[in-house]
Structure 1
Amino acid sequence: MYSLLAVGFEGSANKLGIGIIKQLYKEDYSTQALSNRVLIPEDVQILSNVRDTYNPPAGEGFLPKDVAEHHRNCILELLKAALEEAKVSCQDIDAICFTKGPGMGAPLQSVAIVARTIAQLWNKPLVEVNHCVAHIEMGRMITGADNPVVLYVSGGNTQVIAYSEQRYQIFGETLDIAVGNCLDRFARILMLPNDPSPGYNIEQEAKKGKNYIDLPYTVKGMDVSFSGILSYIEQLVKKGQNNTDESQEYSKADLCFSLQETIFAMLVEITERAMAHVGSQEVLVVGGVGCNLRLQKMMEIMASERNGSVFATDERFCIDNGIMIAQAGALGFAHGSKTPVENSYVTQRYRTDQVHVKWRY
């Protein structure tokens, strides 16, 4: 058995997370292996998973400079807490993993600087991680999904993905804003709190909704669009506020209910189409919006009609966290991935299908 201890730094948006894992591998020398020595993941022990979130006042979004300042102010205390919770020291760590992208530039850079400095101070190798791939690998590890079609839904990303030939291939995606961004911006319009998250507060309001309001439904092949539906529903809110006829008013609950039902139906449709294309019976939902129980339920209804299964995680792992960066970084590091300090830059645009997934065969 081969043991690897990794720390992961995540700060691509308003959530700053640090996680420490112990990854256990077995060696495989089979003739089918792509190299003489292949490490097969056997077990993952989560030693610590700490997180701190920047939440602006209700009705406001978060600016990159403010998020970056939050991360800079919190990160060293968070690292100390992660080490204490894991009961390990810097000498025990084998690899320092950080989010290269995608994400917001200033927060990414702030966290990468700390990871880069820590790696040099501790004399440990540095490993860059794709944020999207980290979500997928964390979902696969936690749920046990074998080879699913992946619906990746978050504040900055919306993609339908399937694995093929050591790449996570993108079958469909948003043409404009991400589904999480759509929900966040609508929460601002309604002045819903940002704590614990705008999407969560929309979900709670939607549970009280009873009347469905027709909204634009935009699916183009395997792609979706959310900017039109956001503009349309924003106008409904303004009309309701300015209309003296009470029969024409729209309740917050009905608006949230209608928005969820519409955009989630769009996501279920393109996911089902991808399942049919690749012949998969599994769906894995990852990303912050993947915590939404209504989305999970709608996906379960679709999958059950295809005799399939849906896999999802709770908020500990679907919301951005350091554990997913540590786990994906450990997988890459065990198969030779290292990032020289001089190449440890970040990028706001780092597509899922750019990553060589060398640990899957």
Structure 2
Amino acid sequence: MGKRMIALGFEGSANKIGVGVVTLDGIILSNPRHTYITPPGQGFLPRETAQHHLHHILPLIRSALDTASISPADIDCLCYTKGPGMGAPLQVAAVVVRILSQLWRKPIVAVNHCVAHIEMGRIVTGAVDPVVLYVSGGNTQVIAYSEGRYRIFGETIDIAVGNCLDRFARVLNLSNDPSPGYNIEQLAKKGVQFLDLPYAVKGMDVSFSGILSYIEATAVEKLKNNECTPADLCYSLQETVFAMLVEITERAMAHCDTKDVLIVGGVGCNERLQEMMRIMCSERGGRLFATDDRYCVDNGAMIAYTGLLAYANGLITPLEESTFTQRFRTDEVHAIWREKDMLNANGVDS
């Protein structure tokens, strides 16, 4: 039996810094991470987030290697998030991976953050070729694989759904621990009154900025007059934006003639979103694939695994090209490993 392939992955595109150790067959040997949590009512700024990542990166590397019971000699490649994300936090992982590559003499693989969420979701849930709803603080996209790439069928035309929820959490001064979206979810479970909010689906795309502006203005006035509770507002916001996401996902399913859906990204942990999507899938005779916060939320293992898929198919990133970018579209990536999977599934020798 040959040596198993192992990758060390670094994720730091937003407020989480994570280091993961993964094998090519998807076994996660370790996956520690640390979250930068700001006081209630505040977001996280790039410079302070980068300082947080710098402070925690070395302990996380030690923890990842120790937990996985491996040494640098056991590692086949080093993978990092190239983008998309916030510039300063992204830079931390890019610099660290360059240094370790030269110290340990290991090849580098640059990874698209969005594609990594998809591949982690696929390996964890066993979903083969689903329509993907990718929802996080920085991204909202409906995606399906076709001819070597993950194609975007619909997306937000302004802010991401996670950003919408996070910003409303600041209006209510909710805690950022463990995340503002999680605390909105818990509060929404106590809501009893549904308030009509703008519903902004435009073809296959969605818009959240107008909904946010409306509820921000409405919230202060209605709360002041005791016309509703914070729980009612959270409930109404969730129901509205999640209904929009279910609608465009179902439309993509019809277009692709696909019955299965995979939800990935930090907002994908939301149990109400999963419930609404599961009902829609079951009505169409399909299945919903979803995970918990271990894999939905940004982590190093998803970067390691996706980078290892690329590396096993002959892709590496030269040192001088191991840069980072805040703009890196999902459909820019040539998913060569999916091409080979499809050929094998069709009985064609790759």
Give the structure-1-normalised TM-score: 0.93
- Aligned with residue 101 of structure 2, among 119, 138, 146: 119
Q: Distance in 2 between matches of 1:313 and 1:219?
A: 26
Residue 10 (structure 2) aligns with = 9
- Aligned with residue 268 of structure 2, among 254, 277, 290: 290
Q: Residue 325 of structure 1: SS of its match in structure 2?
A: helix
Q: How does 1:94-109 map to 2 (within 5 A)?
A: 94-109=76-91
Residue 325 (structure 1) aligns with = 303
Q: How does 1:104-253 map to 2 (within 5 A)?
A: 104-243=86-225, 246=226, 249-253=227-231
User: Which amino acid in the other structure matches residue 252 of structure 1?
Assistant: P
Aligned-residue Cα RMSD (Å) equals 0.8
Residue 344 (structure 2) aligns with = none
Q: Contact conserved, 1:178 with 1:226, CA < 8 A, in 2? A: yes
User: Which amino acid in the other structure matches residue 14 of structure 1?
Assistant: N
Residue 20 (structure 2) aligns with = 19
- Aligned with residue 292 of structure 2, among 306, 314, 331: 314
Q: What do the CA deviations read for 1:103-140 (whole angstroms, capped 9, x no partner)?
A: 00000011110111111110000000000000000000
Q: Distance in 1 between matches of 2:290 and 2:311?
A: 26
Residue 241 of structure 1, CA deviation:
4.5
User: Which amino acid in the other structure matches residue 40 of structure 2?
Assistant: A
Q: Distance in 2 between matches of 1:287 and 1:191?
A: 24
Q: Contact conserved, 2:30 with 2:64, CA < 8 A, in 1? A: yes
Q: Distance in 2 between matches of 1:294 and 1:157?
A: 19
Q: Residue 191 of structure 1: SS of its match in structure 2?
A: coil
- Aligned with residue 264 of structure 1, among 211, 232, 242: 242
Q: Distance in 1 between matches of 2:92 and 2:9?
A: 14
Q: Contact conserved, 1:236 with 1:250, CA < 8 A, in 2? A: no
Q: What do the CA deviations read for 1:253-307 (whole angstroms, capped 9, x no partner)?
A: 0000000000000000000000000000100000000000000000011111100
Q: 1:88 to 1:2 in 2, by over 3 A?
A: closer
Residue 242 of structure 1, CA deviation:
4.1
Q: What do the CA deviations read for 1:214-265 (whole angstroms, capped 9, x no partner)?
A: 000000000000000000000112213443xx3xx22110000000000000
Q: What do the CA deviations read for 1:147-174 (whole angstroms, capped 9, x no partner)?
A: 0000000000000000000100000000
User: Which amino acid in the other structure matches residue 8 of structure 2?
Assistant: V
Q: Contact conserved, 1:175 with 1:225, CA < 8 A, in 2? A: yes
Q: Contact conserved, 1:72 with 1:110, CA < 8 A, in 2? A: yes
Residue 90 (1) aligns with residue 72 (2): yes
Q: Residue 360 of structure 1: SS of its match in structure 2?
A: helix
Q: What do the CA deviations read for 1:199-226 (whole angstroms, capped 9, x no partner)?
A: 0000000000011000000000000000
Q: Distance in 1 between matches of 2:74 and 2:140?
A: 37
Q: Residue 240 of structure 1: SS of its match in structure 2?
A: helix
Residue 348 (structure 1) aligns with = 326
Moved more, 1-10 or 195-204: 1-10
User: Which amino acid in the other structure matches residue 70 of structure 1?
Assistant: H
Q: Distance in 1 between matches of 2:92 and 2:154?
A: 31
- Aligned residue pairs total 338
Q: Contact conserved, 1:103 with 1:156, CA < 8 A, in 2? A: yes
Residue 66 (structure 1) aligns with = 48
Q: Distance in 2 between matches of 1:116 and 1:70?
A: 19
Structure 1 spans left out of the alignment, 5+ residues: 24-42
Structure 1 residue runs of 4 or more that deviate by more than 6 Å after TM superposition: none
Q: Distance in 1 between matches of 2:278 and 2:223?
A: 36
Residue 2 of structure 1, CA deviation:
6.2
Q: Residue 4 of structure 2: SS of its match in structure 1?
A: strand
Q: 1:134 to 1:58 in 2, by over 3 A?
A: same
- Aligned with residue 337 of structure 1, among 315, 319, 323: 315
User: Which amino acid in the other structure matches residue 174 of structure 2?
Assistant: L
Q: What do the CA deviations read for 1:54-110 (whole angstroms, capped 9, x no partner)?
A: 000000000000100000111011100100100000111110000000000000011
User: Which amino acid in the other structure matches residue 11 of structure 1?
Assistant: G
Q: Distance in 2 between matches of 1:63 and 1:118?
A: 27
Residue 360 of structure 1, CA deviation:
1.1
Residue 255 (1) aligns with residue 233 (2): yes
Q: Distance in 1 between matches of 2:253 and 2:232?
A: 31
Q: Contact conserved, 2:17 with 2:35, CA < 8 A, in 1? A: yes
User: Which amino acid in the other structure matches residue 64 of structure 1?
Assistant: P
Q: Distance in 2 between matches of 1:204 and 1:165?
A: 40
